[in-house]
Structure 1
Amino acid sequence: MSIAKFTSNNRVTGWIVAALLLVHAGLLAYSATRHSPTLNEPGHLVAGLSHWKFGRFELYRVNPPLVCMVAALPVMAAGYEEDWGGFYERPGARPVFGMGADFIKANGERSIWLFTIARWACIPFSLIGGLFCFFWSRELWGNNLAGLISLTLWCFEPNILAHGELITPDCAATSLGLGAGYFFWRWLKQPSWERAGLAGLLFGLSQLTKTTWIILFGLWPLLWLIWLYFSKPQPKQELAPQVSFKTQALQLGSMLMICSQKTDPF
């Protein structure tokens, strides 16, 4: 039996996907217990804690707050010692690095455990990215094997393993940006309000991970126009109900503008 035929069984494929993601999560969880915090992680954790406690976003404002706020949740549940004395505000201020050091001093050796559980809270971001890899590849190539190959590469790719264990925004930005691209591509193929809504949701979430994705505000309209220019009419028997240019423009505008209003934390 060929591999392609074996993986054509959706139930078998589902078990393989689950096994790959379980191994991936295990590698990330183990790595999170073995590696000391990076230079940026204390600052990210302190920023997330401050966002929840004070409802303010001055700390680490060079990036949106989603990832550090998720990382802060288990730390708040476990309890921690506070020291906000290092905060100051002025143009270009970056007090968060000194406050990260103060956090470690205040919590002592227990800070290692707090960083570990904060890292564990961010593992789902990488798992979500793996699923988007699987679904997009499967839809592109029309078979489960393509999705499994992409998922396997994701689960064991060194950069994903390195960043997926951290509370920095890089892996989450990659995962949610990938998801945004996947749903935008599906909307391009067959525009509808449902697909526009899903693309807009992932667009908004990606904007909450890292400032890098601000490029999508200009890139998506450009890609849409290029897609319209190069799209070839399908045979009438295969032609799906057509969506007018104005309706597509309205859907795209809804993705970009409504979500940008909802996701701006500043």
Structure 2
Amino acid sequence: MEKAQFKTKKAILFSLLSFIGLNLILQVYFKSLTLDEQMHIAAGLSYLKDWKISINVEHPPLVKVISSIFPYLANEISLPSYNDFKPYKGWSLLLWSIDSIKTNFSNLDLLTFETRIFPILLTLILGYLIYKAAKELFGEVVGLIALFIYCFEPTFLGHGKLVHTDVPSALFYFWYFYTLYKIYNKPCYKGFIYLSIIFGLAIVTKFSMLILVPTYLFVVVNIIFKKDWKRYCKILPLMAFIPWFIIATLYFFRISRLSENEARLLIKWLYLPTEC
């Protein structure tokens, strides 16, 4: 009886994940690239080609890079000069992105599918994590109910396939606190390493994930002041190195001064005074 129930629950789990996965894949052919996607894809191609982050810098590079891997490997990429489009001011990035895509890709349907593979995979991972966390907290049935709600939630059905930062950032945000919860219940070296990796990936997914920094620092301070701190202090150098390495790798180990446009964006986002 228990074995039959186990098989039934696993079948429901597989069916729900298959439903949202197939739903997102089929949507790929019914929804063309959005304006933001075109800019993210073109920027990702430029990152892989030039090994530097100089375009569309208002978003971290992770989603743009992984979504552009397949089209970059399958084609000989030749991008127009971004400087030629700067006179168009507010429209320069969009016009450059459209021209970049038209220049390099004749089959836009194939490009759309290739670039949306990784976003769909991340959406599936988020669904499985929601199921797993709910199952550990409240049992198998609640886990399946949580996954059912997720699979029919319009936001994820609509955005889960797009080359945007929203769903990936939701994934790493949720994954971070799920890992933190597991560490709280059972501290271990492996858990701290996982937390460091997820923290680094979150930071290079969306700038608003900087909200995780205080909690990460709290974890570090908590390790230092634990009674058995000598047992876990060995992990502290890795907890500093791993996020730095992930961030540095995605930015191709390049540090440059802020451009005029970047400085203007920071002033706007942080509500800084424009005059001293």
Task: Give the shorter-chain TM-score range.
Answer: 0.7 to 0.9
Work out whether residues 74 and 121 of structure 1, in 8 Å CA contact, stay in contact via their aligned partners in 2: no
Match of 2:148 among 152, 155, 175: 152
The 1:248–1:47 alpha-carbon spacing in structure 2 relative to 1, beyond 3 Å, is: farther
The 1:223–1:153 alpha-carbon spacing in structure 2 relative to 1, beyond 3 Å, is: farther
1:261 aligns with 2:258: no
Equivalent in the alignment of 1:140: 137
Work out whether residues 8 and 144 of structure 1, in 8 Å CA contact, stay in contact via their aligned partners in 2: no
Residues 167-193 of structure 1: CA deviation (Å, up to 9, x unaligned): 111111111221111111111122121
Equivalent in the alignment of 1:53: 49
Provide the aligned C-alpha RMSD in A: 3.2
1:115 aligns with 2:112: yes
Equivalent in the alignment of 1:177: 173
The 1:251–1:183 alpha-carbon spacing in structure 2 relative to 1, beyond 3 Å, is: farther
Match of 2:95 among 98, 118, 124: 98
1:203 aligns with 2:186: no
Residues 112-144 of structure 1: CA deviation (Å, up to 9, x unaligned): 431232113321000110111011111111x11
The letter of the residue matching 2:111 is L
Q: Which runs of 5+ in 2 are unaligned?
A: 255-276
User: Whole-Å Cα distance in 2 between the matches of residues 131 and 204 of structure 1?
Assistant: 21
1:126 aligns with 2:123: yes
Matched residue pairs, number?
245
1:29 aligns with 2:12: no
Work out whether residues 176 and 206 of structure 1, in 8 Å CA contact, stay in contact via their aligned partners in 2: yes
Moved more, 76-85 or 45-54: 76-85
Match of 2:39 among 33, 36, 43: 43
User: Whole-Å Cα distance in 2 between the matches of residues 219 and 88 of structure 1?
Assistant: 44
Once the two structures are superposed, the pairs formed by residues 185-196 of structure 1 within 5 Å of their partners are 185-196=181-192
Per the alignment, in what secondary structure is the counterpart of residue 64 of structure 1?
coil
Per the alignment, in what secondary structure is the counterpart of residue 44 of structure 1?
helix
Moved more, 21-30 or 214-223: 214-223
Match of 1:162 among 158, 164, 167: 158
Per the alignment, in what secondary structure is the counterpart of residue 98 of structure 2?
helix
Match of 1:68 among 64, 86, 91: 64
User: Whole-Å Cα distance in 2 between the matches of residues 94 and 218 of structure 1?
Assistant: 37
The letter of the residue matching 2:227 is S
The letter of the residue matching 2:245 is K
The letter of the residue matching 2:122 is F
Per the alignment, in what secondary structure is the counterpart of residue 122 of structure 1?
helix
The letter of the residue matching 2:24 is L
User: Whole-Å Cα distance in 1 between the matches of residues 106 and 8 of structure 2?
Assistant: 45
TM-score normalised to structure 1 length:
0.79
Moved more, 216-225 or 130-139: 216-225
Residues 195-249 of structure 1: CA deviation (Å, up to 9, x unaligned): 1112222222222211111111113445898x99xxxxxxxxxxxxxx6363588
The 1:192–1:81 alpha-carbon spacing in structure 2 relative to 1, beyond 3 Å, is: closer
Residues 61-81 of structure 1: CA deviation (Å, up to 9, x unaligned): 222211111111221244266
Work out whether residues 48 and 69 of structure 1, in 8 Å CA contact, stay in contact via their aligned partners in 2: yes
Work out whether residues 193 and 238 of structure 2, in 8 Å CA contact, stay in contact via their aligned partners in 1: yes
**How many angstroms does 1:110 deviate by?**
2.2
The letter of the residue matching 2:58 is V
Percent identity between matched residues is 22
Q: Which runs of 5+ in 1 are unaligned?
A: 229-242
